[in-house]
Amino acid sequence: MKRIFIDTGAFLAKEIAADQHHLAATRGWAQWADSPCPLYSSEHVLDETTTLLARRTTYAWAAEWARDALDSGIRWLRAEEGEWRSSLDLMRKFADQGVTFTDCLSFAMMKREAIRHVFGFDRHFEAAGFSLWPERK
């Protein structure tokens, strides 16, 4: 069964109509709503998304969004101690590309969980060896 990791971009694009990936995200979420495939994300992506939503909408709305996300059935991964250090190594490795620490933690947790697919729009995941979904042309 295909497992997929949800990146910040997929959450943001669904909620922000002006986002360039809004249509793709909305379609993607609709497809996953009817799928038995498990969805994963991380506490760091939840943090990043909630903060960005608060800045683009309202803090109260973002807090409600986060509560709903926590109750959505997504499996929220937590970084293990060794992954913090390996993420710093990854951040150094991809320094020329401006990869965020949250993305590097995501890479480490995805590797640990053997997750190869990312619902998102950030090409840094492809550079790290993961497959973006939905595929872009």
Q: Please report whether residue 95 resides in a domain.
A: no
Q: Please report whether residue 108 resides in a domain.
A: no
- Give the domain range for residue 125: 4-77+115-133
pLDDT digits (tens, 9 = 90+) for 83-116: 999 999 999 988 888 899 999 999 999 999 999 9
Q: Please report whether residue 109 resides in a domain.
A: no
What letter represents residue 40's amino acid? Y
Cβ-based burial of 78 (10 A; exposed 0-12, middle 13-18, buried ≥19): exposed
Q: Please report whether residue 33 resides in a domain.
A: yes
pLDDT digits (tens, 9 = 90+) for 9-23: 999 999 999 999 999
Which pLDDT does position 136 carry in this prediction?
Answer: 66
User: Which pLDDT band, with edges at 50, 70 and 90, does 131 fall under?
Assistant: very high
Q: How far is CA 52 from CA 9, 15, 35, in A?
A: 10, 11, 27
| pTM, 2 dp | 0.92
The answer, yes or no, to whether residue 35 has pLDDT greater than 90, is: no
Q: How far is CA 33 from CA 27, 38, 116, 131, in A?
A: 10, 11, 20, 20
Q: Please report whether residue 19 resides in a domain.
A: yes
pLDDT digits (tens, 9 = 90+) for 51-78: 999 999 999 999 999 999 999 999 999 9
Q: How many domains does the chain have?
A: 1
Q: Please report whether residue 69 resides in a domain.
A: yes
Q: Please report whether residue 110 resides in a domain.
A: no
Contact yes or no for 130/16 (Cβ under 8 A): no
CATH of the domain at 50: 3.40.50.1010
Report the half-sphere exposure of 38 (CA within 13 A, side-chain side).
11
Q: Please report whether residue 43 resides in a domain.
A: yes
Which pLDDT does position 71 carry in this prediction?
Answer: 95
- CB under 8 Å to 29, separation ≥6 — which residues? 10, 14
